[in-house]
Amino acid sequence: PTAKAFYDACVAADSGKGVACLYGNYAGDNMNVKMCVELAAEDGITVKTVVANDDVASAPKTERHRRRGVAGEVIMWKVGGAKAARGGSLDEVIAAAQKAIDNTRSVGIGLTPCTIAAVGHPNFKIEEGTMELGIGHHGEPGIQVTELKSADEMAQMMLDIILPDYPFVAGDEVTVLVSGLGATPVMELYILYNKVEEILTEKGIKVHRSYVGNYFTSLEMMGATLTITKMDDELKELIDDEADCMGLKQFKY
């Protein structure tokens, strides 16, 4: 979005107590949000930010500030939104959203490229019969191109990258999100999730809540992103709260 689009959204959201802007770590967004914050300040609107950087494949663990924001943003938005809905202050919303993204790691696998409508052709290439591990939602290069694997093998590959990065260990409770990239059938996403849960259970990691579906997509790209968030008592309460918005509908149970 442009700086004005961010600014207009902040003006629309402001109720006099400030606005939390939660977004992904991309150069253009960083620049435009910075300008938005300055424009809003001129109007007396306080805007505070949390920048998602959950993509473990996009930079080393020692350089998390360089990592992209991917499907972990969904968890960040859910937690931050729940805190706001509970009447939390701006600082409390920011703290909850920051904790959520700090506790989150993601990695994606792309099977086919996507086509930008204005261009009319794929903006990158994945050879038939291959897949790209660590690919970004905009087609940013991944960390490995390999022959196409089964869903079970993909689950193991993704967990081998995610689990040691945080690290997630036996006794942890987590929220797991498996998001399609746009064209992968939901049934296949559930096959991937089934193996993820099986491996986590074997490692003594308990799944508190799971999401499977097209939550964070890239047009008609085939593939999936796996996101895992470590829970604590506060995050469990916030992730479990009801939600009813365009991107997520959830009932409490």
Residues tagged active-site: 138
Q: What type of residue sits at position 144?
A: Q
> How far apart are the C-alpha atoms of 249 and 247, rounded to whole Å?
7
> How far apart are the C-alpha atoms of 136 and 116, rounded to whole Å?
15
Give how far Cα 24 sits from Cα of 2, 68, 74, 230, 240, Å. 14, 7, 10, 19, 23
> How far apart are the C-alpha atoms of 133 and 127, rounded to whole Å?
13
The beta strand positions in 100-233, using DSSP E, are 104-110, 130-133, 144-147, 173-180, 206-213, 223-230
Supply the DSSP string of 149-166, one letter for each residue: --HHHHHHHHHHHHTTTT
> How far apart are the C-alpha atoms of 84 and 241, rounded to whole Å?
11
Please choose, from the candidates 52, 51, 53, 54, the residue with its C-alpha nearest in 3D space to the C-alpha of residue 161: 54
Tokens of 29: 């967004």
Q: What type of residue sits at position 177?
A: L
